[in-house]
Chains A and B, each alone.
Chain A
Amino acid sequence: MTTNDPGQSPLPDPVEGMVTDTPTGEETPFDPAIGPETVAELRSLADRYPEARSALLPMLHLVQSVQGRVTSEGIATCAEILGLSDAEVSAVATFYTMYKRKPMGTHHVGVCTNTLCAIMGGDEIFDRLCGHLDIGSDETSEDGQITLERVECNAACDFAPVMMVNWEFFDQQTPESAIEVVDRLRAGEPVQATRGARITSWREAERVLAGFEDGLVDEGPAAVGPSLAGLAIARERGWTAPSYETQAGTGRAGESKAQAEAEADTRRAESETVAEESPADTKGGKGDD
């Protein structure tokens, strides 16, 4: 059985397509170039981890925030800082959907079209946005403002249908509300996420993801609407969890492993259960279980 699906090559070639920026192979000028300040920030990210390579994902986010995509210059810089080859860094960059190869618009607009949102209206919102902006998925509007993308479930299904702008939540959208958001963004008008801060830009968002705070944490609510659905009912009816007792009574019954195994109900758990054997192995059988 072989697959001839261009979208999912079983062994994606990590290097091809990542070292050059145009089909003809010529390097487009990167704007701006990665300067000494960025290099210092990249190094500071590497310093946050016991092993520097762990910083690669954040570093690539930072590259995107500076250059608007993952450039070959960015890859080379990360590789040099981490002592990796360019190919190793490329292999990582191509694996994750948030890293973009093509130049991005000022704003990234993602419409959730996973099942729940799609059915609740996400498909229609996406189609209407495509029509309105005259682009398809992974394309950028002519004015360079909006890059549109279908996104997977963004962990906000209770707010379906959901749209993300620069990875901020725009909950319970309609085609009309989504178009309005996009038009305001293009006009440079202020736009506030429904659960989040005012919209900055995709690049600025990438900088926060890389690991640098932007001072907008206190904007937006703690929780609204669906997040409070159960709590509101509990408040109304006077329902609470039992109150805390004075101190934990620590009955030390403890469960047997067999019991635990029987209770854990998926293969995920099964593989975790077997973990218990291993510590004993490495301890040279110290565990008497």
Chain B
Amino acid sequence: MWESLNLKDVVALARDPYPSIRQWARDTGKKVVGSTIADVPEEVIYAFDLLPVTILGTHKPLKKAPSHLPDNACSLARSNLELALSYEGDLFSGFVLPQVCDTTQHLSDIWRINFPDKFVTSYLAPRQADRPSARYWVKEEIERLIDSLGGWLGKKLDSGALANSIALHNENKTILKEFYEIKRNFPGAITNKQFFAMMKVSQQVDKAEFNKSLKAIKDGLKMKKGKNYTDVVMVGITCDPPEIFDIFDDLRVNIVGDTLVTGTRYLQGAPALNGDAIDALADRHFKRGFFSPIHDNVYKNFEEVKKLYKETKAKAVIYVHIEFCESQEYDLPDLKDMIKKEGIPMHVLDTEYQTTSLSHVLTRAQAFFESLKGGSL
């Protein structure tokens, strides 16, 4: 079902993957398990013969979620809860919900209370990452996840299945990295929207099938350099709605690097295949880049951004701010200062899940890139 998609199909799938996932679940008889971001080891879920799906909001209207949440809950949390409560809840047999910030901690409770008949477990990621106890805890949590999935399904995890799952996920990431490399050098070959659609779909469908589509798409790409592209680095957690990428494409802006949780951070630290699989998954947690709720050092974020900016020879940094994400909001003023002091042009995009009108984003982005080209930044 997902093995012979072209780029157009992938973009459409990224917009609303759920009808297709439903069909797949019906056809295969397999169970679907949803997770919010970030850092749930999806390889483990997949190894239990389940389909792990990263839930990344809905574009359908808000109906039920607002009555469960404070008005100033982040728009990603609101949108995710809406998706589960109003639209796709029945598709999922279970949920593995990571806790990284106050919002996700409480969202897990609300979620569990609203789905009393489903398997709902929390994945308690450590919210510190620089001490030995953090590694100990990641491993504990991976083991607890294995136990609770096993208890739910009444079976033990097959170590061969886990190794295969890791290999499959690694393969997916390798292909996506190759696409990124192509995109950097040949912006005319693949648009921002197409690339990030591939990233998103990779987190939502069966990679055993989707990797085949990706390989075929890659083989068929025409390596077009394109002209007058402005290279930028995108910084943040997620970037939604996907029409934001249209704006970049229209302005001939090429995203050549990013720190998004649903972008490069997802690709980082592929677990090694030649040792203990759980150790390898635990190690991966510490090879991933900065994520504001779990890392305590904005300097680290700044250093990463600076390095990426230099390595990619980008012309600017685009920071994607999610409305009401307090984690970002405590970091942003200082990060902005550091980036400004370094002389790096920076533009902050204020985004909100469920937004339909992007005219303000377009106007501000246009003004930014015009002044960037005119050298007035």
* B is a partner of A: no
Residues of A within 8 A of B (CB): none
Residues of B within 8 A of A (CB): none
